[in-house]
Amino acid sequence: MEKQLVIAIDGPAGAGKSTVARKVAEALGYLYIDTGAMYRALTLAVLRAGVPVEDAAAVTSVVERCRVDLQPGPNGNRVFLNGEEVTDEIRTLAVSNAVSQVAAIPEVRQHLVTQQRRLAGAGGVVMDGRDIGTVVLPNADLKIFLTASLDERARRRYLETRALGHDSDLEEIRRNLEERDRLDSGRAVSPLRIAEDAVVIDTTDWTVEQVVTHVLRLCRRRLKECCTE
């Protein structure tokens, strides 16, 4: 039986992680785990509860009562918060503006990291996020770091939110991404950084298909290496 890889894909917001990870998982027949969607679902719960995102204790209290489930869907994971589907609602600008602060709380991260490691335990997994290769799955078989220019990432996120029917402003999205980059890279717990053994791919001028093809080539190469180890 062929080895089932554990693949970690990291990168800043809007770099294309979710799309690429989903397509790679589909091509390999692997499970796709969208950790960003999991954090967004918890953030939505916090916003619904009217809890200030700066109040770590109150946020943690809300999060500890939440269950996030992922199910395969035609365009990626369907996301459920305590049994309610919130797939579209977690992509609103309000959630985007708050998710980095919620995700920076150590107790929130630990709440999800435990679940994420359990899901990846048997292999055959593609997981994307910001600290997968460095913290969640430091022993992953293949680590990818996707990046792109700020302007390109803002354009992609603008098109994504418009496609979902949400009002959006390109400049506001750009400012939001710039702030998220600052928060994600500067937080004390699990900051966004490139793992030493990660393959860095700048997707600014690449199509999704080109990125997926390249990642699948890396996967096949890693599988061959695993067979000879």
Quick one: pLDDT at residue 229? 64
Residue 1 lies in a domain: no
Q: Which residues pair with 8 in a beta bridge?
A: 127, 143
Q: Can you spell out the DSSP letters for 174-224?
A: HHHHHHHHHHHHH-SSS-----TTPEEEE-TT--HHHHHHHHHHHHHHHHH
CATH of the domain at 82: 3.40.50.300
Q: How many domains does the chain have?
A: 1
Nearest to 77 by CA among 17, 131, 124: 17
Residue 143 lies in a domain: yes
Quick one: pLDDT at residue 165? 82
C-alpha 197/C-alpha 226 separation (Å) is: 16
Q: Which residues constitute the domain of residue 191? A: 6-228
Torsion region of 123: left, alpha or beta (phi above 0 gives left; psi -120 to 50 gives alpha):
left
Quick one: pLDDT at residue 108? 93
With b for 16 or more beta-carbon neighbours within 10 A and e for fewer, the 123-139 pattern comes to: ebbbbbbbbbbbbbbee
Quick one: pLDDT at residue 134? 94
Q: Which residue has the tokens 């910001």?
A: 130
Q: Which residue positions in the chain have pLDDT lower than 70? A: 1, 228-229
C-alpha 175/C-alpha 185 separation (Å) is: 15
Q: Can you spell out the DSSP letters for 53-122?
A: TT-HHHHHHHHTT--EEEEEETTEEEEEETTEE-TTGGGSHHHHHHHHHHHTSHHHHHHHHHHHHHHHTT
Q: How many CA atoms lie within 13 A of 204 on its CB side?
A: 7
Residue 82 lies in a domain: yes
Quick one: pLDDT at residue 46? 98
User: Are 9 and 21 in contact, with CB atoms under 8 Å apart?
Assistant: yes
Quick one: pLDDT at residue 188? 75
